[in-house]
């Protein structure tokens, strides 16, 4: 198993190019199943989760040509297997995103039931209830979700009981080919859902209310070929900005979008960072100062994202003052606290709240990555700690960060990968 070895406490500064968004690319790849012709998707990040989604589509008979590094040509007309097998779903829960498209396009879908994961139980009940409201018959059998519909799905008025990204995406993808109008109330508004909706529009879908909590979808009978470019990754952007802030550095992210990070940039300013932004770049400058601890609670977009919570906690760990971090989305997403404390942080956990008292410096230690974003926080902590940090089980990081060590080396970090 690969490990990252980080020698911390060096200066961090420089410019980084941000990759395409994983959480936008995954639903867009799944949505390509809906088309009646080939689609071209560009700016895909080079990540294990993307490879898993491509493998899943290929298992179903989809023809995929990988072009020069970041783009693919997908021809879904050759689909002949309407199943997402356990072997793939267990490595990536986002495989559930093929459920809506398969059902809408082919009337049948068999998707292995995703289990819980390190950050919580993560049920899919809202996905299934919504599809049932659109006329699907769903049973759970042999560990599989087996969904059927007679002809096309039917438009429905659906109120999701929680704001969920995945269910909003699955139901949106199902609704675009349903007969009649579907209204999705209490929809998630994440920028990745807007990106998915724009991809669907490019294929000929009719969707109103994009970017709001109510999506009105007028079903069409077929969707066409199109070419689309995936949006920049706001979570990757936030992660590297947090690294710059924790290290008192000056960093510039290019090929990104400041408008998707409003809540996060405000918190960086509260921490004492000087933020400037342009069309496709963000610069953070700490002017050599120690960050101030900032309190926040995670919530659905446009509030502070759960996916950047742990990276901010790493910054808070070495900040001046005390902050309270409340995680409201996932029940077990403060797991990084124990590892950060092993590095000398002072963080007390009370249920879904972490009380962080900043310390002057952390000390390098061997630590274990437990989920994707928690792992990123350990890398940030390692970069600012005195001595050497070894981050084990980094396959979690490779699911969501493209060549993290190469990118951080560009910022001057002393970090390398070793095969374990």
The DSSP annotation for 126-154 comes to: HHHHHHHHTT-EEEEETTEEEEE-SSS-B
**CB within 8 Å of 341: residues ≥ 6 apart:** 347
Which of 59, 117, 149, 226 is catalytic? The answer is 117
Identify whether the C-beta of residue 107 lies closer than 8 Å to the C-beta of residue 150.
yes
Nearer to ligand UD1, 330 or 401 (CB): 330
Least Å from the CB of residue 166 to ligand UD1: 3
Identify whether the C-beta of residue 243 lies closer than 8 Å to the C-beta of residue 203.
no
Radius of gyration of the chain, Cα coordinates, nearest whole angstrom:
21
Let me know if 35 is exposed, middle or buried by CB neighbors in 10 A (0-12, 13-18, 19+).
Answer: buried
Least Å from the CB of residue 411 to ligand UD1: 24
CA atoms within 13 A on the CB side of 140: 6
**Is 117 one of the catalytic residues?**
yes
Helices (H), 34-97: 48-59, 86-89
**CB within 8 Å of 266: residues ≥ 6 apart:** none
Q: Which of 24, 77, 84, 27 is nearest to 55 (CA)?
A: 84
Identify whether the C-beta of residue 297 lies closer than 8 Å to the C-beta of residue 334.
no
Identify whether the C-beta of residue 308 lies closer than 8 Å to the C-beta of residue 242.
yes
> Any idea what DSSP says for residue 207?
E
Nearer to ligand UD1, 308 or 362 (CB): 308
**CB within 8 Å of 178: residues ≥ 6 apart:** 104, 134, 152, 153, 154, 155, 156, 217, 219
Least Å from the CB of residue 289 to ligand UD1: 30
Nearer to ligand UD1, 121 or 276 (CB): 121
Nearer to ligand UD1, 131 or 258 (CB): 131
Least Å from the CB of residue 199 to ligand UD1: 14
Least Å from the CB of residue 145 to ligand UD1: 12
Nearer to ligand UD1, 130 or 364 (CB): 130
Least Å from the CB of residue 22 to ligand UD1: 7
Q: Which residues bind ligand UD1 (CB under 6 A)?
A: 23, 26, 94, 120, 122-127, 162, 164-167, 188, 306-307, 329-330
Nearer to ligand UD1, 379 or 385 (CB): 379
Active site members: 117
């Amino acid at each position: 198993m690969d490990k990252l070895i980080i020698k911390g406490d060096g200066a961090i500064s420089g410019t980084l190019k941000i990759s395409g968004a994983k959480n936008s690319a995954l639903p867009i790849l799944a949505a390509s199943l809906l088309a009646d012709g080939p689609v071209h998707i560009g700016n895909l990040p080079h990540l294990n989760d993307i490879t898993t989604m491509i493998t899943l589509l290929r298992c179903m008979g989809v023809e995929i040509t990988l072009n020069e590094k970041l783009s693919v040509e997908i021809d879904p007309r050759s689909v002949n297997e309407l199943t997402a097998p356990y072997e793939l779903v267990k490595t990536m829960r986002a495989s559930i995103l093929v459920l809506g498209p398969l059902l809408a396009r082919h009337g049948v879908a068999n998707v292995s039931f995703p289990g819980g994961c390190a950050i919580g139980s993560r049920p899919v009940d809202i996905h299934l209830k919504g599809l049932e409201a659109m006329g699907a018959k769903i049973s759970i059998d042999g560990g599989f979700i087996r969904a059927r519909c007679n002809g096309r799905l039917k438009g429905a008025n659906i109120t999701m009981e929680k704001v969920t990204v995945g269910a909003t995406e699955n139901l949106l993808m199902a609704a675009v080919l349903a007969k009649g109008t579907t209204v999705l109330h209490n929809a998630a508004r994440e920028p990745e859902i807007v990106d998915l909706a724009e991809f669907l529009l490019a294929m000929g879908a009719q969707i109103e209310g994009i970017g709001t909590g109510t999506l009105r979808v007028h079903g069409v009978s077929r969707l066409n070929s199109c070419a689309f470019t995936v949006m920049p990754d706001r979570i990757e952007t936030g992660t590297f900005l947090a690294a710059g802030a924790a290290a008192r550095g000056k960093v510039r992210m290019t090929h990104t979008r400041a408008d998707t990070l409003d809540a996060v940039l405000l918190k960086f300013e509260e921490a004492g960072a000087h933020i400037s932004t342009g069309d496709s770049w963000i610069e953070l400058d700490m002017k050599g100062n120690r960050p101030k601890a900032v309190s926040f609670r995670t919530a659905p977009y446009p509030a502070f994202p759960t996916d950047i919570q742990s990276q901010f906690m790493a910054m808070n760990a070495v900040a001046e003052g005390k902050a309270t971090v409340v995680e409201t989305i996932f029940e077990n997403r403060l797991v990084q606290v124990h590892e950060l404390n092993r590095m000398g942080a002072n963080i007390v956990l009370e249920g879904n709240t972490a009380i962080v008292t900043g310390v002057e410096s952390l000390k390098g230690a061997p630590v274990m990555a437990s989920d994707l974003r928690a792992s990123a926080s350990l890398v940030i902590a390692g970069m600012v700690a005195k001595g050497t940090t070894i981050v084990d089980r980094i396959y979690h990081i490779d699911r969501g960060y493209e060549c993290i060590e190469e990118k951080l080396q560009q910022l001057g970090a002393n970090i390398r990968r070793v095969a374990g």
